[in-house]
Structure 1
Amino acid sequence: MEMSLSKAQSYKNSVTIKEAMKDRHVSDDFYSTTNHQTFIFLNNKWIEVKNQRMDALIVITEFGAFCKKLRDIKKGDKIVCGYDGIRIITNKNNADNSGFGFMNNQVSSERRNDVLIHNLASQLVNNNKKLTIVAGPVVVHTGGDYYLSNLIRYNYIDSILSGNALAVHDIEKNLFGTSLGVCSRTGNVVENGYRNHMRAINQVNGYGSIKEIVEAGNLKSGIMYECIKNDVPFVLAGSLRDDGPLPDTITDMIEAQAAYSALLSDADIVLVLGTMLHGIATGNMLPEKVHMICVDINSAVVTKLSDRGSSQATGIVTDVGLFLNLLVNEINLLKAES
């Protein structure tokens, strides 16, 4: 730890508290939180701030201190302002003396990938850690959907966070055998296959939801199928570019963020697969104690997650489908040894 609370017990300056002047508006000297464990000095004792995340405010209630987004602030809320009476606890490997910063990254080289995959598999098999997947549609395009489906089926996935595209292309592949119109077996473009993703959306719309098309027996495999069959919760967050979208996709940004945050509250490990925007959004919602692993073939994507403040993120530059293949193989080896 960067500093111990025992050394800070003699601290005398309590935090400065000001009431919010109106909904979503506070004094300009408000304290903006990091993702590191935070304590405030109030009533002659250190109090841990709950619901830790970056880019929030600290609100004092009768139940303690909590992180709260600016948009959720109500008139009269008691807001921590300034820097007095605030302690953050950070990992020693943070170079920034303030304990938080941007433009820092930890990207593993190829020779470390097997070690990291082994360690992740061990956490899942031997320690029963909860794994949340944050995935882009590249999981389907690279063939990683087969391995992700296996991980869901065998109870290694606690929740899935994604956008409309992952679900659409997964359903397209399992209904029509194509992914963005490309045959999943041969890799060749299928005549008129460009319309298959719209056909997939149309099929789901006809039943009303992903759950209903699965229960009707029309969708019989794939990532979304396994989520429904194994009661694995998922959130599909919409975007401006979405076709459709699917009826399950949440198109209200604030509602989608809240749904993401609710599932992330129980996460032990977050695995980001081929999605920069959803990965960064997820990192913004997490405390430092939740380890993140970002996998992408593009090193810039891997680096950018930790550049946005998620200092606990480890990056792997490799093919997402290959990574999932190796992870499933490593899990099977560990299970065979036990």
Structure 2
Amino acid sequence: MSFVLPVYHAPQFDQARFQNAPDAVFAPAPRDGVAPEQYHATSIFPEYFKVDGRWLLVEDSRMDCVAVLRDGKMEAVEFRNLKEGEPVVVGRTEDGSQGIYVHADGFEDEDKGEQETFSFRQGRSRETAYSMDYDSIYELLRHEKEHGRILWVMGPACAFDHDARDAFAALVRAGYVHGLLAGNALATHDLEAGYLRTALGQDIYTQRSMPNGHYNHIDTINAVRLAGSTAAFIQSGQVKDGIIYECVKHDVPYVLVGSVRDDGPLPEVYGNVYAGQDAMRALVRQATTVICMASTLHTVATGNMTPSYRVVDGVVRPVYFYSVDISEFAVNKLRDRGSLSVRTIVTNVQDFVVNVRKGVV
């Protein structure tokens, strides 16, 4: 069965309540980086604003921004990027009564039928059956390989295991990776595995600790810094496989954003958190499917900048967002932070990657 994108059902703006609704109210930003009082904060859902009698969709949205009219288009703008005097939407209703409408159910299945009032296991936990999720992911990835952009968010656990590392490298080679977001640790331990066959000093297959293995990851960082860049280190032949190796060889963009815990770090790691956020946002803007694995902070950060929809060639389509972690707390934390469209899978990420590779490659 081939994958088919769900149809977006736009609001019926010919209805009287939309026709009779007033235009949205704008107020100027009082200074750079400051929104006017009663500003409207954007969400993950499609939002429309009535301007000169027309309902305009914010085509490139994200959570917790302000809605600004720029060059005749509505845009979601981070507070720090707001310029003094820019027209910002004010009003905190979402039902159209103030010229602001949040359309949360545009992809709802009209034939899904009524849900029972009482039923078991409606949450997503370690007891959930995920067989259908895997099959859906395989179909989705095959579709997105040709028609979308697949962005992966990865924690270092994805590089600690021999089979998982090989599986993800195979996904890159097969065209199922269009971008990668991570921290210093994922790239460092993946390169350590390619350079010294260890991750945090342990053999990536046997998990046996090597003598003086605690030096291995910082020796790897030091060697990369001596080469001048990760790409130069790989081109030197000192690394011949792995996740970052395949990204470099196949021109897959990756963004590494640092933290106060970082060793080194690698030369490409963003030390300025807002520069890193902008770089992450550039890849998120292109993504139609996002899969986050075993990195709570990066997952929440990515979720906060990912809307539930994307406008592609004038058509509104869903953005698919998965969070995979062995911890129920980790996957639930993202939903608690407002990413209500996330699909969660509670499992070992190494097993997840290996299963996905088997399902699509």
TM over 0.5: yes
Alignment length (residue pairs)? 322
1:94-123 Cα shifts (integer Å, max 9, x gaps): 9xxxxxxxxxx9626655322111111112
Which of 6, 21, 31 is the aligned partner of 2:14?
6
1:141-197 Cα shifts (integer Å, max 9, x gaps): 244211111100111101000001000000111111111111113211111100100
Partner of 1:335: none
Partner of 2:38: 29
User: 2:290, 2:322 within 8 Å by CA — same for their partners in 1?
Assistant: yes
CA shift at 1:311, angstroms?
0.9
Partner of 1:297: 326
Aligned mates of 1:293, 1:12 — CA distance in 2: 37
Q: Counterpart amino acid of 2:349?
A: V
Unaligned runs of 5+ in 1: 95-104, 333-338
Aligned mates of 2:11, 2:124 — CA distance in 1: 26
Partner of 1:79: 88
Partner of 1:264: 284
Partner of 2:353: 324
- Deviates further, 118-127 or 287-296: 118-127
Aligned mates of 1:61, 1:262 — CA distance in 2: 19
Partner of 1:199: 219
CA shift at 1:268, angstroms?
1.1
Q: Counterpart amino acid of 1:243?
A: D
User: 1:24, 1:74 within 8 Å by CA — same for their partners in 2?
Assistant: yes
Which of 251, 263, 269 is the aligned partner of 1:249?
269
Aligned mates of 1:2, 1:129 — CA distance in 2: 21
User: 1:106, 1:306 within 8 Å by CA — same for their partners in 2?
Assistant: no
Q: Percent identical across equivalent pairs?
A: 31
Aligned mates of 1:92, 1:254 — CA distance in 2: 32
Does the alignment pair 1:49 with 2:58?
A: yes
The 1:47/1:93 distance shift into structure 2, 3 A limit, reads: closer
Matches within 5 A, 1:1-338: 4-7=12-15, 8-83=17-92, 84-91=98-105, 107=124, 112-126=129-143, 128-143=147-162, 144-289=164-309, 290-332=319-361
User: 1:56, 1:68 within 8 Å by CA — same for their partners in 2?
Assistant: yes
CA shift at 1:53, angstroms?
0.8
CA shift at 1:26, angstroms?
2.4
The 1:114/1:88 distance shift into structure 2, 3 A limit, reads: same
CA shift at 1:62, angstroms?
2.4
Q: How big is the alpha-carbon RMSD for the aligned residues of Structure 1 and Structure 2?
A: 1.9
Partner of 1:336: none
Superposition TM-score, scaled by structure 2 size: 0.85
- Deviates further, 243-252 or 185-194: 185-194
Partner of 1:99: none
The 1:326/1:110 distance shift into structure 2, 3 A limit, reads: farther
* Secondary structure at the counterpart of residue 50 of structure 1: coil
Aligned mates of 1:170, 1:251 — CA distance in 2: 20
CA shift at 1:259, angstroms?
0.5
CA shift at 1:126, angstroms?
4.2
The 1:256/1:125 distance shift into structure 2, 3 A limit, reads: same
Aligned mates of 1:74, 1:318 — CA distance in 2: 44
CA shift at 1:93, angstroms?
9.5
1:192-237 Cα shifts (integer Å, max 9, x gaps): 1001000010110011111111112121111110000001000000
Aligned mates of 1:297, 1:137 — CA distance in 2: 14
Aligned mates of 2:228, 2:158 — CA distance in 1: 25
Aligned mates of 2:238, 2:161 — CA distance in 1: 24
* Secondary structure at the counterpart of residue 66 of structure 1: strand
Q: Counterpart amino acid of 1:9?
A: F
